[in-house]
Amino acid sequence: MAIPILPGLSLAETELEVSYILASGPGGQNVNKVATAAQLRFDAARSPSLPERVRVRLLEVAGSRATRDGVIVITARRFRTQLRNREDAIERLAELIREAAHRPAFRVATRPGRAARQRRLDGKAHRAGIKRGRSVRLDD
């Protein structure tokens, strides 16, 4: 089954490796007995589902969650059940991929025009005049 990320981009569930580990947090004594935290591993470097541009950016965005081999490791332990933690980990991975797929807007550097520079200088002169008027004058 495919996990939808964006229109035209989805991951096969076979690319995800989910294991369960002991979790801290809510759950009382159950926490010591049942492995409810989900640890998701996704090999981003070798994934056939991701375009090259998204793959490179994903490894940058993942930061410390990515290993040297290009495997992204996400640990989810927010909830008390394996199923909810698994869904949470998959959603967090999908959010990372969405962020990596987003193309930042191309910005063209511009400079202020002559009128804008003049307005800035006029404002500075006006403020200087106000401050000059506050000074105490000692007349001889």
Q: What are the structural domains, with CATH classification, of the chain?
A: 2-101 (3.30.160.20)
CA angle, 8 as apex, 7 and 11 as ends, to 5°?
100
**Per residue in 60-73, pLDDT tens?**
888 888 888 888 99
User: Quick one: pLDDT band at residue 110, thresholds 50, 70, 90?
Assistant: very high
Against a cut of 0.85, is the pTM above it?
no
pLDDT in tens, 73-104: 999 888 888 899 999 999 999 999 888 888 88
